[in-house]
Amino acid sequence: MALLEIKQLNKRFGGLHAVNDVSFQVEPGQIKAVIGPNGAGKTTLFNMISGTFPPTSGSVTFQGRDLRGKKPYQVADLGMARTFQNIKMFNGMTALENVMVGRHVQSNAGFLSSMFRMPWTWKEERAIRDKSMELLALLGIEEHAHTDASSLAFGQQRAVELARALALEPTLLLLDEPAAGLNIYETAEVGRLITKIRDLGITVLLVEHDMSLVMDISDEIVVLCFGEKIAEDLPPAIQQNPEVIKIYLGEE
Amino acid sequence: MKKLLSVLPLLAVVIGVHLLTSATDTMYYLTQMTMSAYYSLLIIGLCVLMGYAGQISLGHAGFFAIGGYLSAALTTRSLVPYQDTALVNLLDSVGMILSGHDLYGEAMLVVSPWAACGIAVCTAALIAVIIGIPVLKLKGHYLAMATLGFGIIIYRVALALEYFGEADGISEVPPFPLLSGLTISGNFSDRIQNYYIAWGLLLIGMVLLLNLMDSRVGRALRGIHGSDEAAGAMGVNTSRFKLQTFVLSAVFAAIAGVCLTHYNGGIGPSEAGVMKSVRYVAIVAVGGMANLWGALLMGVVLNFLSLRGVFGSYDDAVFGLILILIMLFAPNGILSLNIRHRLKQLLRRGKQDREGEV
Amino acid sequence: MTTELFIQYLMAGITYGSIYAIVAIGFNIIYNTTGIINFAQGEFVMFGGMIAISLLHFMPMPLAIALAVIITMVIGALIEICFIRWLKSPSVLRMIIITIGISILSREVAVHIWGESIRSLPYFVGNEISSIPVFGARISPQVLWVVAASALMVIFLGIFFRTTSIGREMRACASNRKAATLCGINTQNMVTLSFILSAGMGALAGCVMSPITYSQYDMGTGLAIKGFTVAILGGLGSSGGAVTAGILLGVIEAFSVSVVPLAFQDAISIAILLIILFVRPQGLFGSKEAAGLSEF
C-alpha cells in the first residue's frame, strides 16, 4: 500500500485553477519529487497535503487514513512533518529550542504539570533535550545549538528547520523547495542530507524547481505545469521527456 | 530548582524592603507595595498571554473585576431571604456558609471567603473559556476590539446591577482568613503580614510562570508567537494553547482581584474600567512584552508610583504617554534600551566622524 | 407600540445611526490608506464638539463650528506627523497600542482643559422643546441637521474620491500602496490627508450631535467602539456599507430601549460587535474572499 495517495486533487482560487486533477502515490522509503516552473501549483499542492487549506475536491490519504478536514497540527500528529519554502524559524529561540519544539507530539507535559514541575516531566524534558541535540549533531550544526536561530546563516537555518521536522519522528517528510536561496555547494549538501534522511527510513516528498538537485537524489519525479500533472516517471525518463523539455527550455 | 533559585534574590529584596521601611519608620509604604504586588500578579499573567502567546487583551480589568466583585458580593450580600432554597442549604451542608450579624445586629448569612474565592475564580475561568473560544480566532485589530468590548460589557454590568452596588461598588468586604493566623485584611495591625502574603503569592505566581515558560508548553507558546504556521506544522494545537493561556491569565487576574478586594475591603466600578485594562497592557509593553521579569519590575514600580499619587491628576495621561513613547522608541521594552551600550555606540560614531574629517 | 412612538424611536435610531456611520467612515478612510484602525477616532468627535463649545464665547456659531473643524483637522494632521509618519512598517500590535495611547492622551488633555462636566452646543434652530411633526410624531429640528450633515458628508466624500485628482490618488494609495508610490504619488502625504479628512468629519459630527447627545471628555471610547462595530458590520473599508450598517445599529439600539434597561444599551451594540466578529468578520455586505486576503 502506498504511504501517501493523492487522488484527483483540485484547488480553485476564484477563477484560478491552481491544481487541476492531480493524482499520484508515494511509496514508503522513496524520495519523490514534484517539479515544475514557478506558479505550477507545487506549493498549493503541499499546503493541501499538510492541511493548511482544504482542497476544492479530491482526496489525500496518508497511511490509509483520509486527511479530509484535518488541521495541520493533526496531520503532524499522524506522522507527517514539513518545512517551508521561506524558512519559518521561531524567532527569539535558540537553534536547540527550535528543534525541541519539534518534539512536541512526542511528549506530553501540559500546563499544570509544567507549572508545578511534576517529577515525571523532568525525565521527559531531559529526553527532549538529548534527542534534539542528537538531531542537531546528525545535521552537523550542534556547535550552533545555543545560538539564536534567526541569527544563523541561511544554510544553517535550513538545517535547523530540517532537524526540527525530523524531531517529530515523521514517517513522511515534506520539503518545500529545500534548495531555495542556497548556492550550489549548499544545495549539494542539502542533497546529501536528504539522502541521509531517506536512509534513516523516512519517506521524503519534495517540491523543487532546482533540476540538478532533483535529478541527483529522487527515485521518482512528478512534473506539474499550470496545475496539471504532465509526467510521472524515473529521473532519466523525465530528462528525455519532450514535454518536460519544452516547459523547461521553451519551444523552438 | 534553578528557577526557584532565581527568585531568591527577589525574596531578599522583599525582606529588605520590609526591614528598610521599618528602620526608616516608613512602614506606610508597605500598603502600596502590597497593592502593587496584587496588580503585578495580574500583569505577569497578562505578560504570558501578550508576550509569549502573542494575543493582546484589552479586557483584563474585566477578569480582575469578575474575581473582585463576585468575591465581594458573595461575602457581603446576605442570603437570609434565600435561606430556605435548595442551593443555600446545599452550600450550608458543605460548610460554605457563614452566619453572623450585620452592623445593625440583623442576622446575616454569607458565603465563606474561601468558597467565594473559589466560585469567583472558577467563574472567571469559565467566562474566559466561553469568550476565548471565539475571540482568540481573531487577530490584530479585531482581537483588540473584541477584548475591549468584553471589558466594557463587564464594566457596564458592574455599573448597572444593584447586586454589584452600581456606581458605589461594594464596601465592607470582610477579611479573608487564608490559614489560621494568616488573614488578608486591610487592618493596620495586619500590614506586615499582608505584605508578605501578597508578595508570597506574587513569588509563587512568578515561579509557576517561569517554570511554564521553560517547558514543553512554554516552547510551544513561544513557537506560536514566532510563527503560527510553523508551530502548527510541528503538531502544536495553536488554538487550544492560546485558549489555555487566556484562561490561565484570566485566573491570575481573578485571584489578584479577589485578594485585593479583601485587602481593600471593597471594590468599585473603576477597577473594571477600560483605562485599567489599557494600563495593564502599557505596563506589559514597558516591561518588554515577552519578559516576565520586566513585567514584574515595571508592574511593581509603576503601580507603586501611581498608588503613591506621584503622577497626581495626570495618572492616566502618564500611562497613555508611556504607552506611546515605548511603542514609538522601544517596542521591545524599556529594559531593551541598554542605555550604556547606546551611549558607547554614539561616542564611537562621533569619534569615527571626526577621524573621517581628518 | 403606537405609530407615533414607533416613528419617534425610528428617528432617534436614524440620528444616532448617522453619527455612527460618520465615525465608521472616519475609520474606513484611515484604514484604506494605511491598514490601521485608529482607536482615537472617537476623540476627533469629542474634540470637534468641545472646541466649538469653547469658541462659542468669542464668535457666532457657524464660525465656531467651522473653526473647530479646522482645528481638529490640524490635530489630526499633527497626530499623523508626530506618531505615525516616521514609523517604518510597524507591526499591527504596535499600531494598535500607539493609537490607543493617543486616544488616552487626547482624553486626558480634554479633561484638563474642559474638566469632567457635560457640555453642549445650543440647538442650531429653536431649542430643546421646539419640534416638527412627522407622521404624528414630534421630531426635534436638530435631528434633521444631524441627518443632513451626515448625508452631505457622505456625498462630499463620494464626489471628492471620484472626481478630484487628490481623491483619485488617495484611492490609488488605498488599493495598492506600492504601485501608487511607483506612479509618483506621495503616499505619506496621502496618509496625512486621510487623517485630516477623518478628523474633520469626526469634528463636524461632534458639532451637529452636541445639542442632542451632549459632549464630554470621555465620549470617545464608546463612539469608537460603536463606529468600529458599524465599520465591521458594513464591511471594513466600504462607505456605503457603513451608512446602511450605521442606521441599522442606531435603530436596533433605539428600539432595544423598550426591551432592556438603558444602562445596558452600550452592552447591546458591543454584543452585536462580538457576534459579528465571531460569525461574519467580513461584515454583512463584505465578501468572504476579500476578508480572507486581508491581514486579519
DSSP string, C158-218: HHHHHHSHHHHHHHHHHH-HHHHHHTT--HHHHHHHHHHHHHHHHHHHHHHHHHHH-B-TT
Tell me, yes or no, whether A176 and A250 share the same domain.
yes
Residue tagged 495618572 (cell numbers): B315
Tell me, yes or no, whether A107 and A156 share the same domain.
yes
CA distance A250 to chain B (A): 36
Interchain contact, C296 vs B138, CB within 8 Å = yes
Taking CB atoms and an 8 Å cutoff, what residues of chain B touch C94?
A: 327, 331
C42 touches C227 (CB < 8 A):
yes
Tell me, yes or no, whether A174 and A72 share the same domain.
yes
CA distance C3 to chain B (A): 30
Considering only alpha carbons, which residue of chain C is nearest residue B333?
C94
Query: Which of A101, A132, A172, A176 is most worth mutating to test chain B (most B CB atoms within 10 A of its CB)?
Result: A101
B-C Cβ pairs (cutoff 8 Å, strict): 118
**How does pLDDT run across B53-86, given as a tens digit for each residue?**
888 999 999 999 999 999 999 999 888 788 778 8
**In chain C, which ranges are E strands?**
132-134, 137-139
A202 touches A168 (CB < 8 A):
no
Cα end-to-end distance, chain B, whole Å: 57
Distance CA B55, CA B221 (A): 11
Q: Which residue has the higher pLDDT, C130 or A47?
A: A47
Specify the pLDDT at position C295: 39
Structural domains of chain C, count: 1
In the complex, which subunits touch B with 3 or more CB pairs below 8 angstroms? A, C
C92 close to B (CB below 8 A): yes
- pLDDT band at residue B323 using 50, 70 and 90 as cut-offs: confident
Distance CA C166, CA C190 (A): 8
Taken in order C121, C126, C131, C134, the sign of the CA dihedral is negative
Considering only alpha carbons, which residue of chain B is nearest residue A121?
B215
Residue (of C227, C101, C105) closest to B278 by Cα position: C101
CA distance B55 to chain A (A): 16
B320 touches C105 (CB < 8 A):
yes
- CATH number for the domain that contains residue C209: 1.10.3470
* A230 within some domain: yes
Structural domains of chain A, count: 2
Considering only alpha carbons, which residue of chain C is nearest residue B325?
C98
* A85 within some domain: no
B43 close to C (CB below 8 A): no
Interchain contact, B327 vs C101, CB within 8 Å = yes
Distance CA C168, CA B354 (A): 49
Nearest to B274 among C105, C221, C278 (CB): C221
Q: Which residue has the higher pLDDT, C20 or A210?
A: C20
**DSSP category for residue B49:** I
For B175, counting Cβ atoms within 10 Å of its Cβ (0-12 exposed, 13-18 middle, 19+ buried), the class is middle
Strand partners, A32: A205, A220
- Helix/strand number for chain C, H first, E second: 12, 2
How is residue A180 written as a grid cell? 531555495
Considering only alpha carbons, which residue of chain B is nearest residue C269?
B149
The whole-number average pLDDT for the span C4-17 is 88
Collapsing DSSP to helix, strand or coil, B357 comes out as helix
Specify the pLDDT at position C294: 41
Q: Which residue has the higher pLDDT, B354 or B300?
A: B300
Q: What is the mean pLDDT of chain C?
A: 86
Interchain contact, A90 vs B223, CB within 8 Å = yes
B343 close to C (CB below 8 A): no
The whole-number average pLDDT for the span C3-18 is 88
Strand partners, A231: A223
Residue (of C130, C200, C149, C129) closest to C15 by Cα position: C149
Interchain contact, B139 vs C273, CB within 8 Å = no
Model confidence at B207: pLDDT above 90: yes
B324 close to C (CB below 8 A): yes
DSSP B75-108: HHS--GGGTTSHHHHHHHHTT-EEEEE-TTS-EE
Interchain contact, C101 vs B331, CB within 8 Å = no
Taking CB atoms and an 8 Å cutoff, what residues of chain C touch B287?
A: none
Model confidence at A6: pLDDT above 90: yes
B233 close to A (CB below 8 A): yes
**How does pLDDT run across A36-86, given as a tens digit for each residue?**
887 788 889 999 999 998 999 999 999 999 999 999 999 999 999 999 988
Tell me, yes or no, whether A174 and A153 share the same domain.
no
Model confidence at C112: pLDDT above 60: yes
Tell me, yes or no, whether A153 and A190 share the same domain.
no
Interchain contact, B235 vs A168, CB within 8 Å = yes
C129 close to B (CB below 8 A): no
The whole-number average pLDDT for the span C43-66 is 94
| % of chain C residues with pLDDT over 90 | 35
Specify the pLDDT at position B349: 66
The whole-number average pLDDT for the span A152-170 is 92
Least confident of A236-250, B268-282, B287-301: A236-250
Query: Which of C277, C293, C294 is most worth mutating to test chain B (most B CB atoms within 10 A of its CB)?
Result: C277
Considering only alpha carbons, which residue of chain B is nearest residue A128?
B216
Model confidence at C293: pLDDT above 50: no
CA distance A88 to chain B (A): 6
Residue tagged 490640524 (cell numbers): C74
Domain end residue (candidates: A108, A130, A162): A162
Least confident of B160-174, C26-40, C215-229, C279-293: C279-293
pTM: 0.89
Model confidence at B358: pLDDT above 50: no
Taking CB atoms and an 8 Å cutoff, what residues of chain A touch B236?
A: 73, 101, 104
Considering only alpha carbons, which residue of chain B is nearest residue C263?
B160
C170 touches C15 (CB < 8 A):
no
Complex-level ipTM: 0.89
Nearest to B234 among A93, A110, A164 (CB): A164
Distance CA C141, CA C125 (A): 7
Taking CB atoms and an 8 Å cutoff, what residues of chain A touch B210?
A: none
Specify the pLDDT at position C168: 87
Domain end residue (candidates: A114, A129, A162): A162
Model confidence at A24: pLDDT above 80: yes
Taking CB atoms and an 8 Å cutoff, what residues of chain B touch A90?
A: 222-223, 225-227, 230-231
- pLDDT band at residue A252 using 50, 70 and 90 as cut-offs: very low
Distance CA A235, CA A38 (A): 20
Identity of the residue numbered C155: I
Distance CA B34, CA B100 (A): 29
Residue B118: phi and psi, rounded to 5, are: -60, -45
Identity of the residue numbered A174: L
Q: List the alpha helices (DSSP H) in chain B.
A: 2-6, 8-23, 29-47, 60-76, 86-93, 113-135, 140-160, 191-213, 216-226, 228-233, 238-264, 274-287, 292-307, 315-329, 339-357
Q: What is the mean pLDDT of chain A?
A: 90
C:22-61 residues touching chain B, CB 8 A cutoff = 37, 39
Considering only alpha carbons, which residue of chain B is nearest residue A51?
B233
Nearest to A114 among B216, B226, B227 (CB): B216
C87 close to B (CB below 8 A): yes
CA distance C252 to chain B (A): 17
Taken in order A175, A179, A181, A185, the sign of the CA dihedral is positive
* A12 within some domain: yes
**How does pLDDT run across A94-135, given as a tens digit for each residue?**
999 999 999 999 998 889 999 998 888 889 999 999 999 999
Domain end residue (candidates: A140, A162, A184): A162
Query: Which of B141, B164, B311 is most worth mutating to test chain C (most C CB atoms within 10 A of its CB)?
Result: B141
Give the structural domain span for C284.
3-293
Tell me, yes or no, whether A2 and A74 share the same domain.
yes
Interchain contact, C277 vs B146, CB within 8 Å = yes
Give the structural domain span for A211.
1-79+170-252
Interchain contact, A72 vs B229, CB within 8 Å = yes
Distance CA A4, CA A203 (A): 10
- pLDDT band at residue B340 using 50, 70 and 90 as cut-offs: low
Identity of the residue numbered C146: V
B222 close to A (CB below 8 A): yes
DSSP B185-209: ---GGGHHHHHHHHHHHHHHHHHHH
Specify the pLDDT at position A205: 95
CA distance A72 to chain B (A): 6
Specify the pLDDT at position C20: 92
Q: Where are the domains of chain B?
A: 2-38+53-281
Residue (of B74, B75, B64, B119) closest to B252 by Cα position: B64
How is residue A189 written as a grid cell? 549538501
Tell me, yes or no, whether A128 and A194 share the same domain.
no
Model confidence at C173: pLDDT above 90: no
Distance CA C66, CA C107 (A): 22
Taking CB atoms and an 8 Å cutoff, what residues of chain A touch B289?
A: none
Query: Which of C97, C219, C257, C264 is most worth mutating to test chain B (most B CB atoms within 10 A of its CB)?
Result: C97
Considering only alpha carbons, which residue of chain B is nearest residue A96?
B219
Model confidence at B299: pLDDT above 90: yes
